[in-house]
Amino acid sequence: MNIGSFKSVNGQLLGSVATATIDLARLGLRPVESTNERAPAFEIMVLNVAKRWVQIGALWEMTSNSSGESFYQGKLDDPSLPEPLQIMLFGDAEEGYRVVWNRPTARRENLDGSRTGRRTRANTGDDFAGNATADGQIADANVNDPDYVPQM
């Protein structure tokens, strides 16, 4: 989903990002000068209420595995946000960039140590409420006893 854009204005990349709860009307991309290959390509700057530029994120240059297209990926983060906002920029400095929002998919580790985007759980039949049958009914005979405390 497109949530903003950046374009070149007097040699600077300026833009904005807006969602239902976020309105960052004045953003800038400041190029990072570094020889470190892991350094970001840009720092994301915002003009705050005191009219000062402060950094709220960074963007790294990436290349699409399928198309070979270059794009930038990073996040906006600030103590006022409930969580970081993952973004990607597509386009170029001459034509401008469109800002795309991306919700990361949580990766979870399976019991065998492999990773997946989906959560899996071994069905052992033991839960904190007692044993369950295949149709989800509690199989423990003591569960109706008011003094019964299931073993964890």
* Tens-digit pLDDT profile for residues 10-66: 999 999 999 999 999 999 999 999 999 999 999 999 999 999 999 999 999 999 999
List the one residue out of 41, 34, 57 whose CA is nearest residue 93. 41
Write out pLDDT tens, residues 76-135.
999 988 889 999 999 998 999 999 997 767 766 667 766 665 443 344 444 334 444 555
Mean pLDDT (whole number) for 132-143: 52
> 3-class SS at 129?
coil
DSSP-derived letter for residue 138 is: B
Mean pLDDT (whole number) for 131-140: 51
Q: State the pLDDT at residue 16.
A: 97
Q: State the pLDDT at residue 121.
A: 39
> 3-class SS at 141?
helix
Q: State the pLDDT at residue 152.
A: 43
Q: Is pTM beyond 0.75 here? A: no
CB 115 within 8 A of CB 108: yes
Cα angle 134-137-140, degrees, rounded to a multiple of 5? 105
- Spatial separation of the C-alpha atoms in residues 46 and 50, rounded to whole Å: 11
CB 49 within 8 A of CB 131: no
* CA of residue 139 relative to chain centroid, distance: 41
